[in-house]
Structure 1
Amino acid sequence: MSDWVKIKALTAQELLEQFELSEEGAAECIVADTTPRISIERLIEHGFFLDAVKLLAHCLPKREAVWWSCLAARKIQTPETDQNNIDALIAAEAWAKKPTEDNRLRARAMGVKTGHKTPASWAATAASWSTGSLSEPGEPEIQTPEYLYAHAVAGSVSLAAVLGNPDEPEALYQHFLAQGIDLAKGGNGSAETQ
């Protein structure tokens, strides 16, 4: 698989309207009027991993993006991971496999319960922000912004890289980006770093 078949955006520019680049110098890697793939590859090549994660999170379809955050959260789980974070990840994975409203609401509850402080919590939040309303059940509907899920996905993946290896997160960033690129190519995210 060499083509990024899951990416529907024609240019990086249309995605850059949804978030801001965070690292100084990253903008120089962006080729706004070409496919997002070129900008992602350039960001990775120049070590702007956080911004590559953000752009890729906005490129991927919702289910693949949430699954990517689940892979990152799963990678850094340890025997010391508390039950609420285990349950948050399970809820996010359940939504990615079967995006029903019940699974979305379960993910939402676990995202709130875990306080948006961990990769699993942000993965669950990404699932809950992928469809449906932001309001509580029974309240007037508040439409979820189209790309809100991608912000949570980027938070989950980036946090996993930093928490997984606080001293040198670059290797985990590269691993997670390889997984995200595999998903963009239509894979299951099992790609390893080159």
Structure 2
Amino acid sequence: MSDSDRFAGLKKLPRRSVAEILAETGGELDDDGIALDQPPEAVLAALDEKGDIPGQIRLLARALPRREGIWWACLAGRDLQPEGRTWQSLQAAEDWVFKPGPATRKAALDAANAAAPEEESDLCARAAYFVEPTKEESYIGPGMAPLMVELMVLKSYLSVEPVAMEVWGRHLIDRGLDIARGGNGTSLPAPELPTMPEEEADEADEENSDVTPPAQTV
């Protein structure tokens, strides 16, 4: 898909201005020079021109329908889940995506609360729990689920080497755009990530080894 078509056909995004979407969900963008009275597609394209991947993640997390947004977060959780492992919080979030309801919602919260510190997908499960609060859960605002989605996708974005972040970030956005078109985000091949040249990596290791930790005081 060419760059000119990249933000076309996003039928699952709302026909509302980004300003309205952000006001409803409590989000903010570094919108210098970008008119937020436009629909999400236009603002996503403007953020892309600026190279603002975190801004695109923030907007997509709030513009996607909640179920689709949480699925996008689950795919980011899969990026981080070690091979051969099954994070129960990730499984619980995916269960909610495929069958939203009170039972899977409660299971998602239980899995999030039981997650070990290294189980990074607890954010997916919390997002599922935050989507449809009961009347007694008025403390759960409309921006809490999108925030969990944003943080989960950012975790995947920040998990690669700095030299690979632009390529990986574009892949994460393309996943979200595919979901916004009605796809499932899994058909996109993973990109080949650039790595730091060996000489630069060795120099970085040497610089880090020369750093003297500060003295500890009691």
TM-score normalised by the shorter chain: which range applies?
0.7 to 0.9
Residues 130, 162 of structure 1: alpha-carbon distance in 2 compared, 3 angstrom cutoff: same
Q: Determine helix, strand or coil for the equivalent of 1:10.
A: coil
Matches of 2:71 and 2:181, distance apart in 1: 14
Residues 192, 28 of structure 1: alpha-carbon distance in 2 compared, 3 angstrom cutoff: farther
Aligned to 1:52: 56
Identity level (%): 27
Matches of 2:93 and 2:101, distance apart in 1: 11
Structure 1 residue 110: deviation in Å? Answer: 1.7
Matches of 2:33 and 2:88, distance apart in 1: 38
Aligned residues of 2:36 and 2:43 also touching (Cα < 8 A): yes
Aligned to 1:178: 174
Residues 79-94 of structure 1: pairs in structure 2 closer than 5 A: 79=83, 86-94=87-95
Q: Partner letter of residue 19 of structure 1?
A: G
Q: Determine helix, strand or coil for the equivalent of 1:169.
A: helix
After superposition, the CA RMSD in angstroms is 2.4
After TM superposition, the score normalised by the length of structure 1 is 0.83
Residues 14, 123 of structure 1: alpha-carbon distance in 2 compared, 3 angstrom cutoff: same
Structure 1 residue 93: deviation in Å? Answer: 0.4
Structure 1 residue 186: deviation in Å? Answer: 1.4
Structure 1 residue 176: deviation in Å? Answer: 1.1
Aligned residues of 1:119 and 1:157 also touching (Cα < 8 A): no
Residues 54, 118 of structure 1: alpha-carbon distance in 2 compared, 3 angstrom cutoff: farther
Aligned to 1:4: 10
Matches of 1:65 and 1:131, distance apart in 2: 14
Count of residues in correspondence between the two structures: 180
Matches of 1:62 and 1:116, distance apart in 2: 25
Aligned to 1:154: 150
Matches of 2:102 and 2:15, distance apart in 1: 26
Aligned to 2:112: 111
Q: Partner letter of residue 153 of structure 1?
A: V
Structure 1 residue 118: deviation in Å? Answer: 5.5
Aligned to 1:137: none
Aligned residues of 1:107 and 1:124 also touching (Cα < 8 A): yes
* Higher alpha-carbon Rg: 2
Residues 14-29 of structure 1: pairs in structure 2 closer than 5 A: 14-17=20-23, 18-21=26-29, 26-28=30-32
Aligned residues of 1:12 and 1:30 also touching (Cα < 8 A): no
Structure 1 residue 183: deviation in Å? Answer: 1.0
Q: Partner letter of residue 109 of structure 1?
A: D
Aligned residues of 1:9 and 1:59 also touching (Cα < 8 A): no
Matches of 1:71 and 1:110, distance apart in 2: 17
After TM superposition, the score normalised by the length of structure 2 is 0.74
Q: Which of 60, 81, 91 is the equivalent residue of 1:77?
A: 81
Matches of 2:47 and 2:113, distance apart in 1: 32
Matches of 1:63 and 1:118, distance apart in 2: 21
Gaps of 5+ in 1: 134-139
Matches of 1:75 and 1:51, distance apart in 2: 20
Residue deviations 1:124-165, cap 9 Å, x none?
A: 1111111124xxxxxx812232232100000000111112x0
